Structure 1
């Protein structure tokens, strides 16, 4: 039975995530720190300006559709278990909070680091002529976005989602049974980090990010995903108590029943 406390908790849970995501969107509108670039460094930022291989819309579709499919499969396979709905809700809470925190971290780092993108020169001088970067003639938004290279948001977001769902599957799927499907689950789960790697590497192929930007985003997303997955999917009260007993070698509690004569 769903109680009033459930709806109150759900309200504040959703409210927090809306507030965090709104803050992330506003961070994206702030101008970054303007770092000085020597003329000798210009070659590092003169790569061509190409369209994104994986546009932001496709990134959001991956972030939403892949976890939704996995949660749906989890429910269909274990809907008879009374804990399944609660486990899925915990998973959704952890994933959405992970996305919000990743947005805050990556957005704040972008504006405080202010690293130029590989295609920054052509954002500054679309016609390809000019050396004084303090006199850019390109669109202002393009110039400012061109100084937000580190870390790669595509990389951090996709790694947050895919690593979180990979750990989610490994947590809830019992690899001891049925053994016949073990290899299939392993292969299918391996597609999640592979998807994250391919999306991230595409950001270097279209010259929107340096390799170090992608690596930094991948590390950020992986750390956030692992932390949120541990908090929301592993720190169950009964499991935590059982773990403490095993680590401290406490014996299982003994129940003494008095029998009256």
Structure 2
């Protein structure tokens, strides 16, 4: 069973890699209406210039749950009387784990699996739908004269309608769902549920609610920034919230 789980984890990581860093799964090309105001917002700049840049989001969704799980498990283990602390070495087909290490590996392993799964779901939704971002036409830079656009009701379906930077155009076709919103919500929901179920706080009633509300607020803030900077529509962000939240709730319910 341990080896089988490793194979599943490796396959999940590879699939996430192919979605994220290769063109194995091409983006669906959607058409657009001439002069569509919903897709004519100004270009917000590269992702790194965002107020919630991907490098910060990805770092936080990795670091926060890791720290919270380590704190929770270590505090739970060392708060027990020495006579009640488990010292038995548990086996996992080939490996030997101390019970404390086993719990930490289990929680972090499940979280990592869900994180890559959320990435796959978000990327799959983006390449299958090909929904455009609010700044799509700004990145696309269509030649309306050559396309014969005379009315806002005219629909353009030509794949070569865009004259802008190919990389920016491809990125502008990946709006639904918002991956950053999905990952941040997955992180927040999983960590909140872990804190609620596993942490045992004595002497204070506000520690857990404060931590949980802070994490949820940060996840919501990521989506708000995406919309405010014209990188996603509200529908994209809400779909990302739903995707990340559903995966987190499912994994916690089935594994904890």
Per the normalisation by structure 2, the TM-score is 0.78
Q: Which ranges in structure 2 are unaligned for 5 or more consecutive residues?
A: 79-84, 87-98, 148-155
In structure 2, the partner of 1:23 is 15
Secondary structure of the residue aligned to 2:207 is helix
TM-score, normalization by structure 1 = 0.77
- 1:169 & 1:204 partners in 2: Cα distance? 29
Query: Is the contact made by 2:182 and 2:241 (CA closer than 8 Å) also made in structure 1?
Result: yes
Residue 59 of structure 2 aligns with which residue?
A: 61
User: Hey, what's the Cα distance between the residues in 2 that align with 1:24 and 1:184?
Assistant: 35
Which aligned segments of 4 or more residues in structure 1 are displaced greater than 6 angstroms?
A: none
Where structure 1 has 5 or more consecutive residues not aligned to the other structure, the ranges are 1-7, 234-261
Note the C-alpha offset of 1:214.
0.3
In angstroms, what is the RMSD of aligned CA positions?
2.0
User: CA separation in 2, counterparts of 1:65 and 1:48?
Assistant: 33
- Residue 70 of structure 1 corresponds to 68
Counterpart for residue 95 of structure 2 = none
Please name the residue that 1:166 is paired with: 192
Q: Secondary structure, in 3 states, of the residue corresponding to 1:79?
A: helix
Q: How does 1:26-175 map to 2 (within 5 A)?
A: 26-28=18-20, 29=23, 30-40=25-35, 42-51=36-45, 52-80=50-78, 81-82=85-86, 83-125=99-141, 130-131=143-144, 132=147, 134-174=160-200
Distance 2:14 2:31 in 1: 31
